[in-house]
A and B are shown apart, each in its own frame.
Chain A
Amino acid sequence: MTDADTPEPGSAKPSGTDSDVAASAADGRPRLPTPLLYLTVLIIATSGLVYELLAGTLASYVLGDSVLQFSTTIGAYLFAMGIGSYLSRFVGNDVARRFLEVELAAALAGGLSAPLLFLGFAYADFFSVLLYGTIGLVGILVGLEVPLLMRILREHLAFEELVARVLTFDYIGALVGSLLFAIVLVPTLGLNRTALLFGMLNAAVAFGGTFILAPLLRRRERTRLRLGALLIGGVLLAGFAQADAITDYAEEGLYSEPVVFSQQTPYQRIVVTGGQTGVQLFLNGNLQFAQHDEYRYHEALVHPAFAAAQEPSRVLVLGGGDGLALREIWKHPGVESATLVDLDPAMTEMASRLPPLVALNAQAFEDPRLTVVHEDALVWLDEESRGPFDVIVVDFPDPNNFSLGKLYTRRFYRLVRGALADGGTLVVQSTSPLYARQSFWCVDRTMREAGLHTHPYHATVPSFGEWGFVLAQKTPFDPPSRLTTAGLRFLDDRTLERMFEFPPDMARVAVEPNRLNDQRLVRYYEAEWSRLAP
């Protein structure tokens, strides 16, 4: 980098720059190396966009994968940038000094944003205050940067040139940032290191800026800013070196137990924790099971369907890649074959390799009677006629987006019905009849619309609360009253019978069925669970 106190004659400059410099030199103003300033714009824009994407990704990662999360954080960020742009008007004549100070503050706030939010989510009570506070602060600082820089450059360029060039580099930087973010940074560095790296870049820009803008700064200011940049860069570098420790510390706080496995797949983020109370599985931050009470859920999911079916031997599991439903299925010696369809290969891979899970599902994936298919269940059923199956267990995550919602539609249940043997039984995990009463009864209504005869039931699973299932056959049938397997921990014949009774606070409500072309269930579900969200 060139110290602009002793500018070099313009050698490797793009055409046009010479005349700019000449023009400014002619009216006696100090010369600045404008190409380096464009590079600054580029870096600023890139890191601005990266901070924005970081906040959105982080919010949807820790708070769930809702579109709302991403939109509101990004909206808030852009709004804060707007405030920053507005505030730039209150900066007086010392633009260069202020610009570099803002740059340093952005380096610190942006660089520490991701680690801070990770730790905050794990340990702070008011996470949204922290989230929007951080977003607001980083947004304001980033919003200040470009207007201030434009004011510095104003002295050297005609207005139309200035706007065109700065915005061009601004947008190119945004493109570079978005490409880097998705393709390189998040996969290789992770969120924390990405933030810290761009913080260091901002600090480097500030450090370099003290040389580029030297003619506009007093000697003492230069020294002070350089020391600040080195200090902040050092802090961020230390954070960068310790990023894994921060992530572990945060993720453990987040999950309250040590994380034994975590993987981002094209479909979801899988996290497994293990500690005093046993193994827990989280998908996109949502608890799927906890070892200490999952037997209640999986016994209630599997055995009533077997009790209602006639001599079940052919079994289909849709979802259920953790293998725990399979473990219950293998307790029925009459089972001759089972097919498990789960979209995410990483899920079944983990459930058949990771020791604590293999222990928990009793090596369910080792059984030679099992066939595993990695495909979207709707597409798999639609491709060709499947079955017939005597028992079909449908165990998907709750319908919190359209991709999952389609697996709860009338169309889907019609396809499932088509794969069901005569006298065969279908069971569907169908969220909580207590917390999401409309959603639960919407699943039941939709299955009826698909020509199924249903018996809804529920069980208490302390980790989840009161949980619901729907049992169904192609023709009218009585709810089962006798289990066909003994030695269960939760279910016995009396418990089985009582599960089919609903107290008034969970009783049937009038709802519309869920169809592919309206996806009402996703809207019921979002409305009901958002009421409960902290």
Chain B
Amino acid sequence: MEPIGAVTKRREMLASLLGGAAASQLLACRRAPDEPESIDGRLGAPDHAFGHRLRDGLHLEEWDDVPEERTRVAIIGGGVAGLAAGWRLRTRGISGVRLYEMESSVGGTARSGQNRHVAFPLGAHYLPLPRRDDRVLRGFLDSMGALEDDEGAEHVLVREPDERVFYRGYWYRGLYPYAGASNEDLAELARFEGEMLRFAQSRGEDGKPAFTLPSRECSTDPRFIELDAIDAETYLAREGYRTARLRWLCDYATRDDYGLALSEASAWALVFYWAARIHEGAEETSEVLTWPSGNAALARALAEPLRGRIDTNVMAVDVRQQAGEVRILLLTPGGARRRVIADRAVLAMPKFIASKIARRAKLPDIGEPTYGPWWVANLHLASRPRGRGEVLAWDNVIYDSPSLGYVTATHQTGRDSGPTVLTYYFPMTGDVSEARQRLMDAELETLQTACLTDLSAPHPELVSRLERLDVWRWGHAMAQPRPGFLQEGARFSAGKASGRIHFAHSDLSGLALFEEAFHHGVRAADEIADAV
């Protein structure tokens, strides 16, 4: 039995992380978990101490004695966009490419961890099979063995059972909770799906598809762009969608892809979530590719042709174009200085960092995007959790939870018993800077408690199987597509180079998806390859 004091303490902890109302909501519909003294774990994050040196002043004269290194193309930033730029340059036969990464490993939000049993994602973890005419991305996937006969390779497509949802005490197949759904619920779902299918099959006056990936190939027809003027909640109300289940599904969608609540996301982005994943001529959303390590497998394959050409633990502190070349100043965590002179550079980083490094460059005209905070928990388990209803799936979603549920790392390996790692995702919605502050102030124990409180509803016995619980904090996980982010379609052409400095990042699209980062990397690489 639990003393009242422990309950109060938990409430306070959760309130400090989530705010009072959300904390009460989480506690109200969950059983109190059995709390052991403390759980092993580690609190990780991108290296902020290092990153924050950018805020300190820079004394350029101190760099004068540093010897110059020369390279043809310098890529700064080893997230998906930077890696894709490097991959594209190498496959187009451009030599003299070097990539500089601030962290100790590349991959950005597509990084992974590994224990003695299995690899597991720390961030992004799947990729919908791209449409057939996306030759570049398909070509890359084929080269890494993710396709067979122009279809998703069987072992890379998500294995059955792919998805289940925990609704009122039971796990059900799929994402939408069909159990107990009324005729009105089902009719509304069918109407919504039909509407999304129509959007997926529509083209604008300009002949372009209304919604497709990458987003810069979407139509700028005002018929579709006008959706960006309102938020997703207003859109649902305007179209007469009323049922709680459909609203939950849509709210899950915007939190899942964008880290935004329904009321915060652009309605265009909500429709994009569904419509862009239905390929032309198809009736259903495309199949999904995944790996035990999540999208880290994609990042690793992109990095392959750059082997020996990646420097980690080096942070660019100044990038400027001067006399027909790009001069880059780099700093290591130990304080060592490096000077790189390149013909061209790719700034593969979000705008809020680029603006601090390339002060004189003309930065992409995307306004000032907000970047949402997320946290991701890796639960290392000695054995699989039990649950009532449908068996453990790859993606396991909890209805009415502020989290996105969890994915099972061993699912794709075929190992159906014994130890596993569950990766639990939690986007912090609401006021961005306030939420980020709460996240950064939170202690490991608070985040662990929030995760276990949430998961105690489907898995009351989870703690007894838990070996450790690590939490990874992403302070600036992704640029957010809030209403107006398309700038009336101007977004689709964002990313123009500033002389010899090129830009590649998913925040140019405002949609933090692998496909967007990849295509911006490829575009930047093509600009360079075409120019040289």
Residues of B within 8 A of A486 (CB): none
Residues of B within 8 A of A14 (CB): 4
Interface residues as binary, B29-68 with A (CB distance below 8 Å gives 1, 0 otherwise) = 0011110000000000000000000000000000000000
A376 near B388 (CB under 8 angstroms)?
A: no
The stretch among A84-92, A237-245, A398-406, A425-433 that forms the contact with chain B is: A398-406
Q: Is B154 an interface residue (CB 8 A)?
A: yes
Question: Contacting B154 at CB < 8 Å: which of A67, A343, A410?
Answer: A410
Q: A67-B391, A172-B1, A410-B154 are in contact. Are A402 and B160 (CB under 8 A)?
A: yes
Interface residues as binary, A391-427 with B (CB distance below 8 Å gives 1, 0 otherwise) = 0000000000111011001110010000000000000
A179 near B417 (CB under 8 angstroms)?
A: no
B414 near A67 (CB under 8 angstroms)?
A: no
B2 near A402 (CB under 8 angstroms)?
A: no
The stretch among A150-158, A213-221, A514-522 that forms the contact with chain B is: A514-522
Interface residues of B in 350-383 (CB under 8 A from A): 383
Residues of B within 8 A of A414 (CB): 154
Question: Contacting B461 at CB < 8 Å: which of A42, A70, A179?
Answer: A179
Question: Contacting A409 at CB < 8 Å: which of B154, B162, B383?
Answer: B154
Residues of B within 8 A of A472 (CB): none
Q: Is B25 an interface residue (CB 8 A)?
A: no
Q: Is B208 an interface residue (CB 8 A)?
A: no
Residues of A within 8 A of B461 (CB): 178-179, 182-183
Residues of B within 8 A of A74 (CB): 170, 388
Residues of B within 8 A of A70 (CB): 388-389
Residues of B within 8 A of A75 (CB): 170
Q: A175-B31, A179-B34, A402-B391 are in contact. Are A516 and B157 (CB under 8 A)?
A: yes
Residues of A within 8 A of B170 (CB): 71, 74-75
Closest chain B residue, CB of each to CB of A177: B460
A401 near B32 (CB under 8 angstroms)?
A: no
B31 near A174 (CB under 8 angstroms)?
A: yes
Residues of A within 8 A of B383 (CB): 266
Give A74 to B388 CA distance when docked, in angstroms: 8
B416 near A516 (CB under 8 angstroms)?
A: no
B460 near A516 (CB under 8 angstroms)?
A: no
Residues of B within 8 A of A409 (CB): 154
B157 near A517 (CB under 8 angstroms)?
A: yes
A406 near B414 (CB under 8 angstroms)?
A: yes
A266 near B31 (CB under 8 angstroms)?
A: no
Closest chain B residue, CB of each to CB of A74: B388
Interface residues as binary, A315-328 with B (CB distance below 8 Å gives 1, 0 otherwise) = 00000000000000
Q: Is B287 an interface residue (CB 8 A)?
A: yes
Residues of B within 8 A of A175 (CB): 31-34, 456, 460
User: Interface of chain B, helix or strand or loop or mixed?
Assistant: loop
Q: Tally of A-B residue pairs with Cβ under 8 A?
A: 92
**Looking at B31, B154, B161, which has the most chain A CB atoms within 10 Å of its CB?**
B154
Q: Is B191 an interface residue (CB 8 A)?
A: no
Residues of A within 8 A of B152 (CB): 517
Q: Is B234 an interface residue (CB 8 A)?
A: no
Q: Is A379 an interface residue (CB 8 A)?
A: yes
Interface residues as binary, B402-440 with A (CB distance below 8 Å gives 1, 0 otherwise) = 000000000001111110000000000000000000000
Give A287 to B456 CA distance when docked, in angstroms: 37
Residues of B within 8 A of A172 (CB): 1-2, 31-32
B158 near A517 (CB under 8 angstroms)?
A: yes
Interface residues of A in 4-62 (CB under 8 A from B): 14, 42, 56
A516 near B159 (CB under 8 angstroms)?
A: yes
Residues of A within 8 A of B417 (CB): 266-267, 343, 376, 403
Interchain nearest-CB distance for A445 vs B (Å):
15
Question: Contacting A411 at CB < 8 Å: which of B1, B154, B169, B418?
Answer: B154
Q: Is A378 an interface residue (CB 8 A)?
A: yes
Q: Is B464 an interface residue (CB 8 A)?
A: yes
Q: Is B526 an interface residue (CB 8 A)?
A: no
Closest chain A residue, CB of each to CB of B162: A517
A517 near B287 (CB under 8 angstroms)?
A: yes
Q: Is A382 an interface residue (CB 8 A)?
A: yes
Q: Is A249 an interface residue (CB 8 A)?
A: no
Give A405 to B414 CA distance when docked, in angstroms: 11
Residues of A within 8 A of B160 (CB): 402, 405, 516-519, 522
Give A414 to B391 CA distance when docked, in angstroms: 26
A182 near B386 (CB under 8 angstroms)?
A: yes
Residues of A within 8 A of B464 (CB): 179, 183
Residues of A within 8 A of B4 (CB): 14
Interface residues as binary, B284-310 with A (CB distance below 8 Å gives 1, 0 otherwise) = 000100000000000000000000000
Give A366 to B119 CA distance when docked, in angstroms: 37
Q: A71-B388, A179-B461 are in contact. Are A379 and B158 (CB under 8 A)?
A: no
Q: Is A171 an interface residue (CB 8 A)?
A: yes
Interchain nearest-CB distance for A447 vs B (Å):
14
Give A382 to B156 CA distance when docked, in angstroms: 13
Question: Contacting B413 at CB < 8 Å: which of A56, A382, A401?
Answer: A382
Give A175 to B2 CA distance when docked, in angstroms: 12
Closest chain B residue, CB of each to CB of A518: B160
Interface residues of B in 443-460 (CB under 8 A from A): 456, 460
B159 near A174 (CB under 8 angstroms)?
A: no
Interface residues of A in 171-215 (CB under 8 A from B): 171-172, 174-175, 178-179, 182-183
Residues of A within 8 A of B416 (CB): 376, 402-403, 406
Interface residues of B in 3-46 (CB under 8 A from A): 4, 31-34
Give A56 to B386 CA distance when docked, in angstroms: 13
Residues of A within 8 A of B418 (CB): 266
Closest chain B residue, CB of each to CB of A449: B154
Residues of B within 8 A of A519 (CB): 159-161
Q: A71-B389, A175-B31 are in contact. Are A406 and B159 (CB under 8 A)?
A: yes
Interchain nearest-CB distance for A284 vs B (Å):
14
Residues of A within 8 A of B414 (CB): 376, 378-379, 382, 406
Closest chain B residue, CB of each to CB of A169: B1
Give A107 to B399 CA distance when docked, in angstroms: 35
Q: A178-B461, A411-B154 are in contact. Are A171 and B161 (CB under 8 A)?
A: no
Q: Is B203 an interface residue (CB 8 A)?
A: no
Residues of A within 8 A of B221 (CB): none
Residues of A within 8 A of B2 (CB): 172
Closest chain A residue, CB of each to CB of B173: A67
Give A56 to B389 CA distance when docked, in angstroms: 11
Interchain nearest-CB distance for B403 vs A (Å):
20
Q: Is B155 an interface residue (CB 8 A)?
A: yes
Q: Is B257 an interface residue (CB 8 A)?
A: no
Closest chain B residue, CB of each to CB of A380: B414
Residues of B within 8 A of A42 (CB): 1
Q: Is B488 an interface residue (CB 8 A)?
A: no
Interface residues as binary, A499-519 with B (CB distance below 8 Å gives 1, 0 otherwise) = 000000000000000011111
Q: Is B390 an interface residue (CB 8 A)?
A: yes
Residues of B within 8 A of A405 (CB): 160
Interchain nearest-CB distance for B359 vs A (Å):
49
Interface residues as binary, B120-131 with A (CB distance below 8 Å gives 1, 0 otherwise) = 000000000000
Interchain nearest-CB distance for A68 vs B (Å):
10
Give A247 to B389 CA distance when docked, in angstroms: 28
Interface residues of A in 230-286 (CB under 8 A from B): 266-267
Residues of B within 8 A of A183 (CB): 461, 464
B31 near A171 (CB under 8 angstroms)?
A: yes
Interchain nearest-CB distance for A293 vs B (Å):
31
Residues of A within 8 A of B157 (CB): 515-517
Residues of B within 8 A of A343 (CB): 417
Give A70 to B33 CA distance when docked, in angstroms: 24
Give A405 to B391 CA distance when docked, in angstroms: 14
Sample (15) of A-B pairs whose CB atoms are under 8 Å apart: A42-B1, A70-B389, A74-B170, A171-B32, A172-B2, A175-B34, A175-B460, A183-B464, A266-B418, A378-B414, A382-B155, A402-B160, A409-B154, A410-B154, A517-B162
Known contacts A74-B170, A379-B414; can you find 6 more A-B pairs with CB under 8 A?
A78-B169, A175-B32, A179-B461, A266-B383, A267-B417, A516-B157
Which 9 interchain pairs have the tightest Cβ spacing? A517-B157, A519-B160, A403-B416, A378-B414, A411-B154, A516-B159, A171-B31, A175-B460, A178-B460
